Structure 1
């Protein structure tokens, strides 16, 4: 969704992220497989279901296989 962890943390702090339908306020909140994230971006709302984790941080292409885009309102 964003390129840097600081940008992701800013989305959380400013109220643009929900975890399982509940607004998240802590950037350090633990996410589990099966959680549904709703992220409000500049021009879109993304609804994603976490399907897996990698042990190491990777590039955007490898991250795309770790979630399912369930679309707005389908979570």
Structure 2
């Protein structure tokens, strides 16, 4: 990969959604992650698939469906504050606080 892309399993691990990279790999291989890149949605099944800043990811962890936008790729698995800077949350229609 280059500086403009990162493997999905590595990114999920760096962003602290999964505790280990091997768990992230298995998570992606189960087809549990959907990626929207340039308005083209796709279900990921290979941990080597790249993600780019601006991509949207949707997946379920601990009984919650999460939708996030990749803001940065990161260079390491840092502290939680650093990990939270790698993504921003996307609200779905069911999460609208005005309803």
TM-score normalized by structure 1? 0.84
Query: Greater Rg, structure 1 or structure 2?
Result: 2
User: Which of the pair is proportionally richer in strand?
Assistant: 2
Q: 1:49 — aligned with what?
A: 69
Q: Residues 66 and 6 of structure 1: is their aligned pair in 2 closer, same or farther, counting only changes over 3 Å?
A: same
Aligned length: 74
Partner SS state of residue 48, structure 2: coil
Q: Which structure 1 residue ranges, 5 or more long, are not aligned?
A: none
Query: Residue by residue, what CA displacement relative to the aligned partner does 1:36-68 show, whole Å, maximum 9, x if unpaired?
Result: 011122301110100112233312221101100
Larger CA deviation: 64-73 vs 32-41? 64-73
- Is the contact between residue 15 and residue 25 of structure 1 (CA under 8 Å) also seen in structure 2? yes
Q: How far apart in 2 are the matches of 1:73 and 1:7?
A: 29
- Cα RMSD between the aligned structures? 1.8
Q: 2:87 — aligned with what?
A: 67
TM-score normalized by structure 2? 0.66
**Higher RCO structure (Cα 8 Å, ≥6 apart):** 2
Q: Which structure 2 residue ranges, 5 or more long, are not aligned?
A: 1-16, 95-99
